[in-house]
């Protein structure tokens, strides 16, 4: 058992995916207007793929190759300004319903949008109050927060400030883990991460991806980064 697995304590039953077996896409094509020539320019052409529950898929390629554009299309977000998008998205082999998709998915932005004056625990509580329905009581909300703190190895930093430019807080890797944990508070089964290691050194990058990969495997989630 890895050190990370040892740190993942408790059983966060709400997070575990039991009904989404696969997420797939066919014929993803994105065309934009070239800024100089004003002619149509295809930046993604006939992309197909599938990810099964418990897997983490890494979208890799050089800068400007369309990684973020593809991620946005898969996550049902705006691909690019005035872009023409053709894509078929499937959940369990059937066409994805937009309303259902929003309910079962979450997206972590490339830049951490955290309030520096809050502690790690307060940040997750803030996210929970913003995103969870009123039917989720205080006790369950606290259980979700504490389970995620444990799952991401953040119990030791739970009462530490996120930090600001003039007040030192947690590390860059820990901030990224907090950002991911905040999106998991609603128990999504599909998680999209936009360049999760951007701005991190190799050690912090390995740390973040290791936690995400272990949680995906443990809770049968589908993660695309």
Domains in the chain: ranges and CATH: 3-19+104-224 (3.40.50.300), 22-103 (no CATH)
Cα distances from 42 to residues 21, 27, 78, 165, in angstroms, run 31, 13, 16, 40
pLDDT for position 13? 67
**Tokens 């509580």, residue located:** 125
Give every residue of the chain whose pLDDT is below 50, as ranges: 1-10
Sheet containing strand 94-95, edge to edge, reads 40-52, 22-33, 84-91, 94-95
**Tokens 């050194």, residue located:** 201
pLDDT for position 10? 46
The 10s digit of each residue's pLDDT in 15-58 is: 889 999 999 999 999 998 887 788 888 999 999 999 999 999 99
- Give helix 138-151 / helix 120-131 axis angle, nearest 10°: 130
pLDDT for position 7? 38
- Other beta carbons within 10 angstroms of residue 77's beta carbon come to 13
């Amino acid at each position: 058992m890895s050190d990370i697995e040892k740190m993942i304590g408790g059983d966060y039953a709400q997070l575990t995916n039991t009904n989404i077996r696969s997420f797939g896409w066919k014929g993803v094509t994105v065309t934009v207007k070239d800024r100089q020539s004003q002619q149509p320019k295809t930046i993604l052409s006939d992309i197909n793929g599938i990810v099964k529950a418990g897997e983490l898929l890494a979208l890799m390629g050089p800068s400007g190759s369309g990684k973020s554009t593809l991620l946005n299309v898969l996550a049902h977000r705006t691909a690019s300004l005035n872009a023409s998008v053709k894509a078929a998205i499937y959940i369990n082999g059937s066409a994805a319903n937009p309303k259902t998709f929003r309910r079962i998915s979450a997206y972590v932005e490339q830049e951490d949008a955290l309030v520096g004056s809050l502690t790690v625990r307060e940040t997750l509580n803030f996210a929970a109050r913003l995103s969870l329905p009123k039917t989720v009581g205080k006790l369950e909300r606290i259980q979700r927060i504490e389970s995620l703190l444990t799952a991401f190895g953040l119990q030791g930093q739970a009462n530490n400030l996120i930090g600001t430019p003039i007040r030192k807080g947690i590390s860059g890797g820990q901030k990224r883990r907090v950002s991911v944990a905040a999106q998991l508070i609603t128990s999504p089964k599909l998680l999209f991460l936009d360049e999760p290691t951007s701005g991190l050194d190799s050690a912090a990058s390995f740390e973040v991806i290791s936690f995400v990969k272990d949680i995906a495997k443990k809770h049968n989630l589908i993660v695309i980064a």
